[in-house]
Amino acid sequence: MEKVNERLINWASMLEEETRKQAEKASRLPFIFPHIALMPDAHLGKGATVGSVIPTLGAIVPAAVGVDIGCGMAAVRTQYHRDELKPGLAKLRTAIENAVPLSAGSYNVSVTEDRTRRRLDELSAKAEKAGFDPARYAGNWELQLGTLGSGNHFIEVTADETGQVWLFLHSGSRGVGNKIATHHIRVAQESMKRWWIDLPDPDLAYLAEGTDEFWAYIRQLRWAQDFALANRDEMMDRVVDCFAEYVGGPVRELERVQCHHNYTEQEKHFGKKVWLSRKGAINAEKGRPGLIPGSMGDASYVVVGKGNPVSLNSSPHGAGRQLSRSKARKTFTRDQLREAMKGIEYRDTDAFLDEIPGAYKPIDVVMRDADDLVEVRHTLRQIVNVKGD
């Protein structure tokens, strides 16, 4: 842990200078209390650093949550052991790819399952209570539930250190959440211009508590967070169905873990109730289960929080990028990706070159930096990997 200044505490042993400077800019906002906590996986983001925990009094920065509101992880521990998996993992991968629409712009054709309809009805009721219509942002928002997206989003079949099989996935609030976030970031920027407020970065534009704009954002943010959670549950149910068909028997869920890592909640820290925005960080209060994925082909972790008050009860959310997507594509080859994914069933394409482990911080370094933030319960190794282009 490093005290960068009175309002910035850093846990990252690997930290680029531009990332440090970006976090320092955010720490100078007058409503930060008590300090920003920079996680071990911190890297450059839009306005606010990815891998930062930003507590605010009387204001909120929409870019401190980011455009994938509610993005996070879900995992299910099954009763099956790795040794019980039969040959033909490609068939399981293909079944998952057919059950869950992948990639940006890919959606369900229709709503066919009763459980999907129930989730959509619950989300519609929540939107009505929040006083807005999600269709204003995305007319097909209902068809987005149960879809993965692209980039670093994934679905995996994994096994822990005992050989127990876990189903594991990463996604958020999809296109509807992105449009909600983009709208409110723009509203905040327009407010700054209207009030003649000069900021160290225009993407740090904020909304003042008590204004209509502030509460509209909070209501819609909370809805998008609920959508993201329901989206992960919907996908996980489909993955469980695919896995059950593959193994030829029912799947008992011995445990299901869910956690956001792009979101805002009101929490009490250092004696005050703050708006706590975690942008690439998970809640690691004492005893709370969480999930920290590695990069494609690397290990992931099921953890429990230690409740470190200086970190604002937070921990990293993953490996954290070292190379931009364009630089990764210029640096690595498809053969190197194949070597990194050796022994893992995945779709062999150079579309995933920018997700190669070498483009990310080593997950073991990130976890070592997080030793005073979380305790590792399980280490998961990939068997099957599913991603969108």
Instruction: State the catalytic residues.
Output: 317
C-alpha distances in Å from residue 198, one per residue of 194, 211, 212, 257: 11, 19, 21, 42
The answer to whether residues 359 and 323 touch, using CB atoms and an 8 Å cutoff, is yes
Distance of CA 65 to the CA centre of its chain: 11
What's the alpha-carbon Rg for the chain, to the nearest Å?
A: 20
DSSP 316-374: E-S--BSS-HHHHHHH--HHHHHHHTTTSB----GGGGGGSGGGB--HHHHHHHTTTTE
Report H helices in the chain. 17-27, 89-99, 114-130, 141-144, 174-194, 212-247, 325-331, 334-340, 363-369
- Nearest CA to 203 out of 35, 24, 320, 66 is that of 66
C-alpha distances in Å from residue 23, one per residue of 41, 108, 229, 249: 13, 39, 28, 50
E strand or H helix at 282: strand 281-283
Sign, CA dihedral 187-50-270-307, equals: positive
* Beta bridge partners of residue 10, listed in sequence order: 2, 38
How many residues are present in the chain? 389
Question: Which token pair is 233?
Answer: 């549950």
Tokens 């980011």 correspond to: 66
* Beta bridge partners of residue 208, listed in sequence order: 59
CA distance 358 to 42: 16
- Identify the DSSP state of 32: B
- Nearest CA to 297 out of 240, 253, 345 is that of 345
